[in-house]
Amino acid sequence: MATLHIEDFYKDCTRILLQLFASFPRKSSVFVEDISGADTPDEYGVHSKRFQACFGAMVWLAEEGYLRFESTIRQEAVDQATLTQKGFLMLSCATFPFDGRLESPHPTSLNSNADYLHHLLHTGTSSQVADALQRLFLGA
């Protein structure tokens, strides 16, 4: 079983990638608050570890070639972001057959990995989301 911060990492990555997939090929800003929830910086303006980890996931996805962005907005967002070819193809292909681990029947409307990840975010467990994204990262 993954530790909580790793499961959060996979959920954040999934949400980031799906947000960019929904606006592809248009560039857009991705705000940490939209992915991980609201945060209140401390008296020195430092964000929580959770908030910082989500921003780190955005930067990591870019470093690994899944997305690109033109700049950051402090540590609160990536600006003018879009999926790379690698990220787009990973999400637009269909590689997940029903594996029996979802509680509900596999909907026939799932035509892509993006559809499957979206379905898991809303009906699956954190472990299922992590497992699915791990499999996609390994295949990319």
34's CB contacts (< 8 A; 6+ apart) are 19
Residue 68 tokens, joined:
């690109």
- pTM, to two decimals: 0.88
The pLDDT mean for the chain works out to 89
Q: Which residue has the higher pLDDT, 65 or 40?
A: 65
Q: Measuring CA to CA, which residue among 40, 36, 16, 38 is closest to residue 28?
A: 16
Residue 48 tokens, joined:
């929580």
136 vs 139: CA distance, rounded Å: 5
Q: Which residue has the higher pLDDT, 121 or 104?
A: 121
Residue with tokens 């009906």: 123
Greatest CA separation found in the chain?
50
Q: Average pLDDT for residues 88-98, to the nearest whole number? A: 81
Domain boundaries, the chain: 4-139
Task: Write out pLDDT tens, residues 12-60.
Answer: 999 999 999 999 999 999 999 999 999 988 889 889 999 999 999 999 9
Q: Tell me how far the alpha carbon of residue 26 is from its chain's centroid.
A: 17
Counting Cα atoms < 13 Å in the Cβ hemisphere of 80 gives 4
